[in-house]
Amino acid sequence: MRVYNPGALPGQASMVVFHAMAYLGREALIIVSPGETLVSVGYFQDAAEVVDLDYCREAGISVMRREIGGGATLLDGDQVFYQVVLGRDNPLVPRDIGALYRRFTEPAVATYRDLGIETKFRPINDIVTAEGLKIAGEGGGDVGDCIVFVGGILLDFDYGTMARILRVPDEKFRDKIHKTMEENLTTVLKETGTKPPREEVAEFLIKNFEETLGPLEPTDLDDELTAKMAELEERMTGDEFLFRKIRKSSTREIRVREGVRFVDGTHKAPGGLISVFAEVVEDRLESVSITGDFTCTPKDALGELERRLAGIAFNAAAVARAIEAFYEETGTQTPGVAVEDLLKALGLG
């Protein structure tokens, strides 16, 4: 099997390359880094809903949509990606997607060990340290007639820019996302105090992937491949593909790591629009913000409801009980907004 290790590629090429490989039907391992900062949006996401496109435009950060799932993420030269492209009928490809993740995560775990960090795979698609901090996320899916598996070694991470490129309801929660990411997402630099050279990391990855894929033959990018990459980059960054119609959901999630996520939901109740933004940690509400154009009497009561919901299990029954107790004990009135409306805004109704 071939291995491509082109170093840092310009523009969107670090993500486009595995798509091109798949559409050409080439089985390969690719080790690559972005030559500049960019944003990659998951295939099933609404780019305008999850990314602050105005900020990205002003900051000169380009945005693309990839053809595999997952969330919007910031990519830059401090990440070394491993991208596996295999034919659907290759015996190395397990039928079960969970087994696919487990098999192709092993070389990355071994690479982190080579770098002095003990990690393990945590379903669904995270690599975490012995202390449980996320140090990498992975993704997989079908592109053309191939199955692809993509992940990265996180040498360092720009938490501030990541928090800034996301579309959030207010700056308070942008700060909250920034803080939560710093507390739950770590890097090689954070764990070891050093940032190894990219080529050293690439060598470890190639050595460890050979244990899973077999002998790997170093190969350079060729004219056919670069032409396909140019064709795909034009399509994947164009408005038709980037802003393709996605079935709208009233609730979206920003996942920091397995067990830590932000829920951003809206619901049009008879009494007005409800907007809820909440942090959920290990299936409990950590913090909640409720806004909208509905009526609430007394007007300061929503702050009390937000405080009461903090710490409640994130399921419909527990949240409903807490909201019902709030209305009964405080006498708060929200005409046209019932308990079930608040649950729908949270994605629980």
For residue 288, give the CATH number of its domain: 3.30.390.50
Q: Is 106 exposed, middle or buried (0-12, 13-18, 19+ CB in 10 A)?
A: middle
Return d(Cα 105, Cα 114) in angstroms, integer: 14
Say yes or no: 301 and 228 in one domain.
no
Both 91 and 120 in one domain: the answer is yes
Domain check: are 67 and 195 in the same one?
yes
| Positive or negative: CA dihedral 103, 113, 72, 239 | negative
Please give the tally of structural domains in the chain: 2
Same domain, 228 and 301: no
- The parent domain of residue 165 ranges over 2-242
* Residue 254 is assigned to a structural domain of this protein: no
Q: Among residues 215, 242, 269, which one ends one of the domains?
A: 242
Q: Answer yes or no: do 216 and 328 share one domain.
A: no
Q: What is the mean pLDDT of residues 212-229?
A: 98
Same domain, 211 and 320: no
- pLDDT number for residue 292: 77
Q: Is pLDDT at 249 greater than 70 in this prediction?
A: no
User: In the predicted model, is pLDDT for residue 70 greater than 80?
Assistant: no
Rounded mean pLDDT, 93-102: 86
Q: Are residues 77 and 146 in the same domain?
A: yes
Average pLDDT of the segment spanning 27-42: 96
Residues 147 and 223 in one domain: yes
Q: What is the reported pLDDT for 30?
A: 98
The mean per-residue pLDDT over the stretch 163-192 comes to 92
Residue recorded with tokens 């913000």: 289
Q: For position 293, what pLDDT does the model report? A: 74
Nearest Cα to Cα of residue 134 among 114, 154, 150: 154
The number of CA neighbours under 13 Å toward the Cβ of 222 is 8
The answer to whether residue 299 scores a pLDDT higher than 80 is: no
Is 307 a member of any domain?
A: yes
For Cα atoms 182, 184, 185, give the angle at the middle one, nearest 5 degrees: 70
**Highest-scoring range by mean pLDDT, 34-48, 55-69, 216-230, 268-282:** 216-230
- Residues 144 and 286 reside in one and the same domain: no
Whole-number average pLDDT of the chain: 92
Q: 69-73, 74-78, 257-261, 335-339 — which one is most confidently predicted on average?
A: 74-78
Higher pLDDT, 49 or 1: 1
Which carries the bigger pLDDT value, residue 209 or residue 47?
Answer: 209
Across residues 47-54, what is the average pLDDT? 90
State residue 157's pLDDT score.
97
Q: Give strand ranges (E) for the chain.
A: 2-9, 28-34, 38-41, 62-65, 73-75, 79-87, 119-122, 126-129, 134-137, 139-143, 146-154, 217-219, 251-257, 260-269, 272-281, 284-292
Position 198 scores a pLDDT of 97
Backbone angles phi, psi at 61, to 5 degrees: -100, 115
pLDDT tens digits for range 275-293: 899 999 999 999 998 987 7
Rounded alpha-carbon distances, angstroms, from residue 120 to 101, 109, 129, 136: 12, 6, 7, 10
pLDDT value for 245? 67
The answer to whether position 16 is within a domain reads yes
Please tell me whether residues 51 and 81 are part of one structural domain: yes
Question: Do 164 and 277 belong to one domain?
Answer: no
314 and 201 co-located in one domain: no
Per-residue model confidence (pLDDT) at position 168 = 84
> What's the CA gap between 47 and 55, in Å, rounded?
13
Report, as an integer, the average pLDDT of 219-240. 95
